[in-house]
Amino acid sequence: MLLLLMPAAVNTYSVSGFEKPSAIQQRAIKQIIKGRDLLCAAFRSQSGTGKTATFCVSVLQCLDIQVRETQALILAPTRELAGQIQKVLLALGDYMNVQCHACIGGTNVGEDIRKLDYGQHVVSGTPGRVFGETPAR
């Protein structure tokens, strides 16, 4: 399965501590790489099993870094998870200079607007902030 990923993404997946994606991870990766929207819900999955790394690596695989506009939107149910997703994307995407911003409540809306105007490849956020408080961009 990893042969379908670009070499940098394979390295990123390995660096994140995983040797081979599980069956469910492989199914998710395939759908994301095909450009399909994906709704994931992991109600009872243990932490540290690679859920976030799986879709972050897949999203990074699909980005055109030369284009400074939002190419992926990741919605999370909590501020904490949206912030964690941003941190994982920035860490895994460090080699490719990815721009990612977390639009979450409790932060300055003006800063969100400034960051979005600057150009973010990926936006992670909560539905309330992404759809309710931040002006359309």
79 and 133 in a single domain? The answer is yes
9 and 45 in a single domain? The answer is yes
Give the pLDDT score at 3.
Answer: 39
Tokens of 4: 């379908």
CATH number for position 127: 3.40.50.300
131 and 72 in a single domain? The answer is yes
Give the pLDDT score at 11.
Answer: 56
Q: Which domain holds residue 109?
A: 64-137
* Residue with tokens 């994906």, as numbered in its chain: 38
Where among 10, 38, 62 does a domain terminate? 62
**pLDDT truncated to tens, each residue of the chain (137 aa)?**
343 455 555 555 555 566 677 777 777 777 777 777 776 666 566 666 677 888 888 889 889 999 999 999 999 999 999 999 999 999 988 888 999 999 999 999 999 999 999 999 999 999 999 987 555 55
86 and 30 in a single domain? The answer is no
26 and 68 in a single domain? The answer is no
104 and 133 in a single domain? The answer is yes
pTM: 0.74
Cβ-contact 82, 102 below 8 angstroms: yes
DSSP for the chain reads: -GGGS-HHHHHHHHHTT-SS--HHHHHHHHHHHTT-------SSPPTTSSHHHHHHHHHHHH--TTS-S--EEEE-SSHHHHHHHHHHHHHHTGGGT--EEEE-TTS-HHHHHHHHHH--SEEEE-HIIIIIISPP-
Cα 135 to chain centroid distance, Å, stands at: 21
Number of domains in the chain: 2
Cα 91 to chain centroid distance, Å, stands at: 11
pLDDT digits (tens, 9 = 90+) for 126-137: 999 998 755 555
Short-list 111, 97, 22, 52, CA closest to 133: 111
Give the pLDDT score at 53.
Answer: 82
